[in-house]
């Protein structure tokens, strides 16, 4: 299916920016949301230069009321992409701090539901949730990130049949490492790294094909599934998380 009116959260940088610019074209309307006004404005201008009609709204996905207003006021919507997310990183002594954990859960879970639930309420035909291969394995170096992505993974799979009865298709995206500002600070090897525009093209191809799950690279996902079955003592010291 070809979508013409698309909303994207976290559109001011990284994967969200790449998705916006890949979708941007004449006849396409993009509703972009992000927290950084300057960067969001820059992305909107680039998308307009490619012929798209664009609205840019500065909003934090953790603000439930603001998100309900933004989504409720969109004139039309074919596709919602809940992309906004953050990573805590290992923190001091390889342990996440209290505020880091709470920020990750607030953004990666509450922020996603603040996006998805209003979109479902207005019967948006397709809603895409950006998860991660990290949701397939409990990583000791980033427990909050892994936990939030695992929760999204389970929720999407469980909610899909009910959503379908309401005429809403849910798609879960599980990418591996993507070259973005979030992964730039990672001090460890990141196998299978893709540029954001490469990842965006893979995701869009899967969305247009109507896929319920989009997981890449497949070999990294397979390794994560196997790793999660092993005793934690065997991989607890292995750093890294897909983003």
Active-site residues: which are they? 145
SS3 of residue 24 by DSSP = coil
Alpha carbon distance 45, 47 (integer Å): 5
Radius of gyration of the chain from its Cα atoms, rounded to whole angstroms: 17
Nearest to 32 by CA among 97, 81, 100, 73: 81
Residues 6+ apart with CB under 8 A from 121: none
Nearest to 61 by CA among 52, 53, 51, 71: 71
Conformation bin of residue 93: beta by default, left when phi > 0, alpha when psi is -120 to 50: left
The tokens describing 35, both together, are 């927290």
Nearest to 56 by CA among 68, 72, 74: 74
Cis peptide before 126 (omega within 30 of 0): no
Nearest to 29 by CA among 3, 2, 4, 56: 4
Question: How many residues are listed for the chain in this entry?
Answer: 243
């Amino acid at each position: 299916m070809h979508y013409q009116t698309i909303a994207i959260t976290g559109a001011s940088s990284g994967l969200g920016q790449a998705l916006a610019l890949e979708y941007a074209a004449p006849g396409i309307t993009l509703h972009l949301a992000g927290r950084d006004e300057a960067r969001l404005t820059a992305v909107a201008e680039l998308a307009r230069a490619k012929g798209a009609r664009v609205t840019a709204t500065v909003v934090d996905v953790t603000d439930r009321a603001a998100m309900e207003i933004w989504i409720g006021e969109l004139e039309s919507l074919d596709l919602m992409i809940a992309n906004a997310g953050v990573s805590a990183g290992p923190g001091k002594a390889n342990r996440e701090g209290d505020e880091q954990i709470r920020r990750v859960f607030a953004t990666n879970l509450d922020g996603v539901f603040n996006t998805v639930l209003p979109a479902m309420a207005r019967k948006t035909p397709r809603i895409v949730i950006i998860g991660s291969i990290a949701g397939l394995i409990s990583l000791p170096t980033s427990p909050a990130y892994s936990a939030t992505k695992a929760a999204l993974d389970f929720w999407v799979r469980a909610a899909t049949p009910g959503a379908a009865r309401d005429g809403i298709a849910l798609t879960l995206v599980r990418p591996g490492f993507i070259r973005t500002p979030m992964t730039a600070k990672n001090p460890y090897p990141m196998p299978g790294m893709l540029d954001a525009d490469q990842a965006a093209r893979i995701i869009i191809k899967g969305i247009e094909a109507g896929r319920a799950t989009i997981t890449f690279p497949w070999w990294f996902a397979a390794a994560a599934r196997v790793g999660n079955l092993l005793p934690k003592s065997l991989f607890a010291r292995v750093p890294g998380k897909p983003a």
